[in-house]
Copies of this chain bind each other. A is one copy, B any other.
């Protein structure tokens, strides 16, 4: 297997490189970037000094078509242009950007403020939420890898949504992320002195992951209604927690709900449902592809509080992309992803 990473200089790209370089089925990993032309990768990432002797190549679509898989770890707006061409080759494509996730072109235009990808490209893209869309993923040639927040949120809601148990319009999601989610580009918002000792909310009611969550949620439960979705920045590097509040059509108990989650995820090694009273912190999945879930039914209010945590660069980006590759090629989904959390 020979794979390519476009956007290799970003955080998603370098995390893909870490995973793919140690993947037993991958023989070679070619690095691309729109801004570099032959620079050693270690100039961008000195932590790879002595490990990687690779250079970063300019984009070359013809060459990429001949690879087995192309990972697009690019900002929004690139993949919608590049993917149609790539699909003519032999390479399967896994797009980590938001360009191919929304099926309705109008939704993309509303939330991403730009023109959507061609309709036929969107049609071919399979939404790569690995634990839920396995069948389609196995047959896919083009994966729209889920966003970091949608991954945490949707895995937290799936067992309730798929069973039609959610009371319409009751879903509220309060999400928190570390700074690496904002990428490597220097900005005032990501400046250390502005970030340390600062907990902030951002893009209130305007986050582009809102329609992505709703699209999948409504596929499972047409009546789930619109969601309220907030995103916050935590002064840490990696990790997402989604705290999800939801009402049920029919009352239940913490025990019953946990049992249904455990059953749903029984065959899914990357989802760890915690026992009653246990709630995961983000550090407990640091550096891994796990999604950890805890929940509790509040008898005072009748609401369920669900906590779902992931490492945004792993299960929320590169890790799930590799999991998708594994499934597309018929390997076990955990291949190359057997990491233990780094703790502490």
Interface residues of chain A, those whose CB is within 8 Å of chain B, are 11, 14, 18, 21-22, 45-51, 169, 172, 174, 176, 178-180, 184, 186-188, 190-202, 204-205, 225-228, 230, 232, 234-239, 241, 243, 245, 269, 272, 274, 278-287, 290, 292, 294, 296, 298, 300-301, 303, 305, 307, 309, 338, 340-344
Contacts and interface: CB of A to CB of B under 8 A. Distances in A.
Given A235-B234, A241-B201, A190 B193 contact: yes
Contacts of A294: 201, 204
B284 A199 contact: no
A279 B186 contact: no
20 contacts: A21-B340, A22-B338, A49-B272, A51-B340, A172-B172, A178-B197, A178-B199, A179-B193, A184-B193, A184-B344, A192-B192, A192-B237, A197-B282, A198-B239, A198-B282, A199-B241, A204-B279, A204-B305, A228-B305, A232-B243
B184 A188 contact: yes
A192 B239 CA distance: 14
A36 B219 CA distance: 49
Nearest to A285: B47
A198 B341 CA distance: 12
A218 to B, nearest CB: 14
